[in-house]
Chain A
Amino acid sequence: MSDPTILILASLADGDKHGYAIMEDIQVFAGIRLGPGTLYGAIGRLEERGWIRAVKSESRKQPYQITAEGSQRLKQQLTLLEQVVRTGNRRVREA
């Protein structure tokens, strides 16, 4: 769950955010503080893959928006994670 791309997609699923807002949001909902290099490394990869896009802004703070492809990808990843969590919980209970 520490994959920064999934965390960023999950953050942007709640609405458009700029870099600092994404960092703060992730720290709140996941308890993980992404470093600035990690954050922008992941933003660069997500933008290259077309899963997020920059939104026009007059400010230096550049907001980002999740794309339809990004939403689809996020849903797939969350389904997989859910399955992992369910299986892990069942096995822990049986152990």
Chain B
Amino acid sequence: MIRWVARLYPTKWRNRYAAEFDALLTEIAPSLRDVCDVLGHALRVRATASIEACMMSAAVSGTPLRIPVVVSVTAHALMISLVVLASWGYVTPMPLHVATAPLPPPTPEPPPQVTDARVFPDAGSLYSSLPLRMPVEGDASRLYVAEGVGINFLSLPDIGATYRQGNTEWRVWPGQALEGLIVRRTLPEYPRAIKTRGAVSVFVEYLITRDGSVKVLRTSGPAPFTSAAQSAIEQWVYRPLEYENRPCEVVSRVEVRFDSEFAESGMSR
């Protein structure tokens, strides 16, 4: 096949190199790449020979050498023009200003379904006026305050962590993220029998079971206050929670703050 391709070389070239080229081809085992190589060079030599012949005849006949150049340039210009015209219908100019539809107004978060009449959601401004420890700066916790008792959702360092015990699996979620799922919340009663003055914080870690009921896992703080917080939080009810379409149990933590001053004044806003 490569010998057939080699016949594409012009006669002048074959007269000069055919014998030794054939000797070379007998020594190598020509591959398809070699065939393509010979084909490419044969066509190139043939094209070069044609151009040289044209130039020679032009020189002999006295035809100005500019004519082939002019013809070539004209042909290329014509081809480019045709391509541009053909693509005209397919290309549309890019608009300078893209009109964008106005963004829809943000969907407001559904209000928490709380049944305790004393709870005031979004009471951050009220809470900030209380003489209790201020929330950490940048903490977007939502606060509930009533009669000297406030609930602060903690920024949990292990959000999304999974704890396992036997076949039971708990996921840690911040209480704030669960607000849309709460069905009933009861605020702790201030333990009025206690004579402690000032503000006291207790921390409660609780488990939301698969049926939505709440079980307190552990508490931290003075005993009378932790008991008050625990008994209230264990009355909370959530909708059954799911993770990846499977019922799951969730662990969360809250800080409950008791303030004697506001409990005595009965301030509830």
Contact = CB atoms under 8 A, between A and B. Distances in A.
Contacts of B21: 19, 36, 40
Contact of A35 (B13, B20, B23, B37): B37
A61 interface: yes
Contact of B19 (A23, A35, A60): A60
Contacts of A44: 13, 16-17, 45
A40 B16 CA distance: 11
A38 B39 CA distance: 10
A41 B13 CA distance: 10
B28 interface: yes
A62 interface: yes
Contact of B41 (A20, A23, A41): A41
Nearest to A43: B17
B80 to A, nearest CB: 30
Interface centre among A20, A37, A39, A44 (most CB of B within 10 A): A37
A60 B23 contact: yes
A33 B2 CA distance: 17
Interface residues of B, number: 25
B44 A20 contact: no
Contacts, number: 61
Interface string B14-39: 00110111111101101001101111
A59 B21 CA distance: 12
Contacts of A23: 24, 28
B24 A20 contact: yes
B42 interface: yes
B40 interface: yes
Contacts of B22: 60
A18 interface: yes
Contacts of A36: 2, 21, 24-25, 28, 30, 34, 37-38
A79 to B, nearest CB: 29
B23 A38 contact: no
A35 B2 CA distance: 12
B29 to A, nearest CB: 11
B23 A37 contact: no
Q: In the complex, which of the residues A19, A36, A43, A44 has the most CB atoms of chain B within 10 Å of its own CB atom?
A: A36
A65 B82 CA distance: 51
A61 B2 CA distance: 18
A19 B34 CA distance: 15
B3 to A, nearest CB: 11
B41 A62 contact: no
Interface string A31-51: 000011111110110000000
Contacts of B42: 37
Contacts of B39: 37
A36 B47 CA distance: 19
Given A23-B28, A35-B34, A38-B37, A60 B20 contact: yes
Interface of B: 2, 13, 16-17, 19-25, 27-28, 30, 33-34, 36-42, 44-45
8 contacts: A19-B21, A19-B24, A23-B24, A35-B33, A36-B2, A41-B41, A43-B17, A44-B45
Given A36-B34, A62-B23, 20 more contacts: A18-B23, A18-B24, A19-B23, A20-B23, A35-B37, A35-B41, A36-B2, A36-B21, A36-B24, A36-B25, A36-B28, A37-B34, A37-B37, A37-B38, A38-B41, A41-B44, A43-B17, A44-B13, A44-B17, A61-B23
